[in-house]
Structure 1
Amino acid sequence: MSVSARIPDVLVIGAGVAGLACAQDLLGAGLDVRVLEASDAVGGRMRSDRVDGFVVDRGFQVFNTSYPQVRRRLSLRALRLRPFTPGFLVHTGDGGPVRLGDPTRRPRTLPGLVTGRVAGARDLVALGLLSARDMLAPVRLVKRPEDRTTRTELAAAGFSDDFVERFLRPFLSGVFLEDDLETSSRFFHLVWRSMLRGTLCLPADGIGAVPDKLAADLPGGTVRLGTPVTALTDDGAVTADGTEVPARAVVVATGAGPAAGLLPGLDVPAGRTVTTYYHAAPRSPLGEPTLLVDEHRRFLNTCVLSDVVPGHAPAGTALVATSVLGAAAGGREPSLRAALSEAYGTDTAGWDLLTTRTVPDALPAMPPPWPLSRTSRVARGRHVCGDHRATGSVQGALASGARAAREVLEDLHRG
């Protein structure tokens, strides 16, 4: 017995942003589409929860306004975006935090650059040349050079080891969710370009507002929640309750692990796991919407989310999010709290641990040579999409979903 009497043209498994983008494009082409989602809401890893009056994302995430797929699919005004300060702070343990800002947007950060506290002449020149190239060159030229590790690329660009270790490595570790700068240099340049050309923000309702908006644009009844798929069949898929759902084509739009389970033999990358600790504080320890990283890399990054979006915390409180590599471990929070006390220059004894969020496979590992996009085709009538098929970003996930839709349409047309 099927979910409904009507047999859809395409069945999309997973209502993360890749699956929603795929469904959007297929529907726009006039196909009948059904999206099956195992959990109780859309979004996949992009979810927001309410915890004791606080808005808690499932892992610290930011929203970049420059992504082409974002601009194509979403109304930025409707998301009510709140920006982060351009640049970031680095806790060095040597005279307070050091700011690496963007002087083209915040001219008052220029004196800190030219006085030598942040960088010497060599590193300033390297930073200026790399940034100008990534920001202004056509994207095809940004993608063209040989792919190598980000660490190798930074050395070749002329950065000193000291500048990389003090500033770039702590910051990029939080972007890539790895500590050795072994990520593809092509992906690094695309990320750097996107940050220079766009604004890092948070939606007023949390990062979950992004997939919510995508889902809201689909016709009613397209997405069916609480419907895990356990297996694919020659004619479609089978859900956990034994229901057979036939379709002309199936797109698996889950994370890498579940995708490999549904498509045996699928080549999937290793995943990066991250844990975010959410603390409730009586007041903001920073007073500005700025990311803070640690030269000693005791944490990936920390941010007072309520300085970015005041509505993320009840009045009279502050919400601090701090991310670390790997899964949550017993006894880790006290040492993290001590590191935060040092980094923020404040007493954290009165902070309450609100909750933690561990996100397995938060990003795919992307060592070089990393293909920026891969075909969605797996077998006849079987496709797959997600950031693990492109790049570990919202842009990558959306673009992968769009590619899957194009290839499904091509195959159905030929068929």
Structure 2
Amino acid sequence: METRSLRTAVVGAGPAGLAAALRLHAAGASVTVHDAAGAVGGRTRSDLVDGWRIDPAVQLYGSAYATVRGLLRAAGAEPLLVRSPGRDALWRKGRAHEVVYGSPTSMLASGALPLALKLKMGAKYLPFLQRHGSGLDLGSLEQAAAAGLDGESIAAWGRRELGQDFVDLLAAPLLSTLYGMRPDEASSGFYHALAKQGLNLEVLALRGGADGLCRSAADALTAGGASLRLSTPVASVEAADGGVRLSGDGWSEDFDGAVVATPAAAAARFAKFLTPDAEKALAAVRMRPAASLALLLDRPVGVGWFGLSFAAGEGGSVAAVCVEENKVAGLVPPGKGLAVVFAGPHAAQRLQGASADDAAALLMPDVARVLPSLPRTVLATRLYTWEEGWTLFGPGDLGRLPMLRRHAWESSPRAVLAGDWLYAPTVEGAATAGLAAADRLLARLR
């Protein structure tokens, strides 16, 4: 079948789905994108509220995100990507210590770490990362498993090799803030790959908010004739008459092929084409709820850092606080402030279905310990929750990624799956999965 005659559907308008849609559209296929939400972006969405542009989940992008850069370029939006100041802080023993977040070398120069740990880092951990460098690739995490780095948690590895301070002051803040994981449940190989990337990391932001990637992709698609159907939940995707049928509340439509780009648990619910082995593989993908509380303020927060994380045991119900006016210009009205408070794993679970007042009651006491004057400046609050917010990459998961991809791409000749759970729990991982899924679908349909 000629590509230009193909009618394809994409379920999900986050980075994975829109990456797949761009690839299908570039190949000449007709593309229709469905999403249950009223806006594109998924967890990269931005929310405009009375002049405040809120990024409730994804905040920053790494300079190593080559796929994300390519998608922005394809959508004509690469100029949106700018360097962020990258000044962050770790809360330890009652004060904030400035660091370049995620960078082991920056941590060596910070007062956040005790001298003994700094010496161990310089003598042992940095050489370890260099020695294993070729196997520590966030775009190919199965290599870390092949190198024998996926058999235990980073907590077990860290305590044995570098001591408890490594776990509490390095692994715990990074994992809880950016990936919703505790050190005892995160694969050591995954953490090492993050640390290796952090050695040469430049932190980037998107002008106008984190949804710039998906918003620009959606604009490029619709300008090119693709169809974008928001607020259109899909209840099932199943084989039908040599193609696939998408169905929802009172509607159904047939396509030649489809990419289902959703969290693994959602795909398992409505992808009716999955084999029993594929269903079993998806059921093993672990997800965790996420929640954040945006605080719209009558004045700037008045600190020099953008993101504050916490040493293990010091954050209470809070995983991190991000000061949006310090990320990139234009997100906050002049003279105002905006802080986004990220709930820790257990608090996020409690906040599913809660109100913004409930979230404030739970989180604000911990925020006030760090920023005592902030509660008096709050004009309004907005709560954001995701039942399937975080994808967890635990011991053994990295080695199973090739098998998981095989099930995601080979269950049906007409439908494939995509999502960050197939590569890495990052925007780059999601976009990579979307492109790979589109390529496999095109190879089958042509």
Shorter chain as denominator, the TM-score bin is 0.7 to 0.9
Q: Is the 8 A contact 1:279 1:353 kept in 2?
A: yes
Q: Which moved more, 1:331-340 or 1:159-168?
A: 331-340
Q: Following TM superposition, by how much is the alpha carbon of 1:369 offset from its aligned partner in structure 2, in angstroms?
A: 1.3
2:290 is aligned to 274
CA–CA distance in structure 2, aligned partners of residues 38 and 12 of structure 1: 12
CA–CA distance in structure 2, aligned partners of residues 249 and 104 of structure 1: 42
Q: Is the 8 A contact 1:7 1:246 kept in 2?
A: no
Give a deviation string over 1:71-104, Cα, whole Å, max 9, x none.
Answer: 3222474224351425x4221234x222344899
Q: Is the 8 A contact 2:417 2:437 kept in 1?
A: yes
Q: Following TM superposition, by how much is the alpha carbon of 1:262 offset from its aligned partner in structure 2, in angstroms?
A: 1.4
Q: Is the 8 A contact 2:324 2:338 kept in 1?
A: yes
Matches within 5 A, 1:39-78: 39-75=37-73, 77-78=78-79
Q: Following TM superposition, by how much is the alpha carbon of 1:242 offset from its aligned partner in structure 2, in angstroms?
A: 3.6
Which letter does structure 1 place at the counterpart of 2:306? T
Structure 1 residue matching 2:429: 3-state secondary structure: helix
Q: Following TM superposition, by how much is the alpha carbon of 1:297 offset from its aligned partner in structure 2, in angstroms?
A: 2.9
Which letter does structure 1 place at the counterpart of 2:427? V
Q: Is the 8 A contact 2:136 2:193 kept in 1?
A: no
Q: Is the 8 A contact 2:171 2:183 kept in 1?
A: no
Q: Following TM superposition, by how much is the alpha carbon of 1:399 offset from its aligned partner in structure 2, in angstroms?
A: 1.3
Which letter does structure 1 place at the counterpart of 2:291? T
CA–CA distance in structure 1, aligned partners of residues 113 and 12 of structure 2: 51
Select which of 250, 258, 271 maps to 1:263: 271
Q: Is the 8 A contact 1:37 1:228 kept in 2?
A: yes
The answer for unaligned runs of 5 or more in structure 1 is 1-5
1:385 aligns with 2:386: no
1:287 is aligned to 303
Structure 1 residues 71 and 97: alpha-carbon distance in aligned structure 2, compared to 1, 3 A threshold: same
Q: Is the 8 A contact 1:291 1:301 kept in 2?
A: yes
Q: Following TM superposition, by how much is the alpha carbon of 1:306 offset from its aligned partner in structure 2, in angstroms?
A: 1.0
Structure 1 residues 52 and 44: alpha-carbon distance in aligned structure 2, compared to 1, 3 A threshold: same
1:360 aligns with 2:384: no
Instruction: Return the TM-score normalized by structure 1.
Output: 0.85
Identity of aligned residues (%): 23
Give a deviation string over 1:358-414, Cα, whole Å, max 9, x none.
Answer: 12211212222113451322223221111123321111111111221222123224x
1:231 is aligned to 236
Structure 1 residues 73 and 67: alpha-carbon distance in aligned structure 2, compared to 1, 3 A threshold: same
Q: Following TM superposition, by how much is the alpha carbon of 1:16 offset from its aligned partner in structure 2, in angstroms?
A: 1.6
Which letter does structure 1 place at the counterpart of 2:91? H
Select which of 172, 175, 178 maps to 2:175: 172
Structure 1 residues 253 and 351: alpha-carbon distance in aligned structure 2, compared to 1, 3 A threshold: same
CA–CA distance in structure 2, aligned partners of residues 91 and 44 of structure 1: 30
Which letter does structure 1 place at the counterpart of 2:214? P
Q: Is the 8 A contact 2:104 2:199 kept in 1?
A: no
CA–CA distance in structure 1, aligned partners of residues 132 and 41 of structure 2: 30
1:149 is aligned to 153
Which letter does structure 1 place at the counterpart of 2:229? R
Instruction: Return the TM-score normalized by structure 2.
Output: 0.80
Matches within 5 A, 1:73-88: 73-75=71-73, 77-85=78-86, 88=88
Matches within 5 A, 1:331-346: 331-334=358-361, 336-344=363-371, 346=373
Structure 1 residues 134 and 198: alpha-carbon distance in aligned structure 2, compared to 1, 3 A threshold: farther
Q: Is the 8 A contact 1:289 1:304 kept in 2?
A: yes
Structure 1 residues 261 and 115: alpha-carbon distance in aligned structure 2, compared to 1, 3 A threshold: closer
Larger % of helix: which? 2
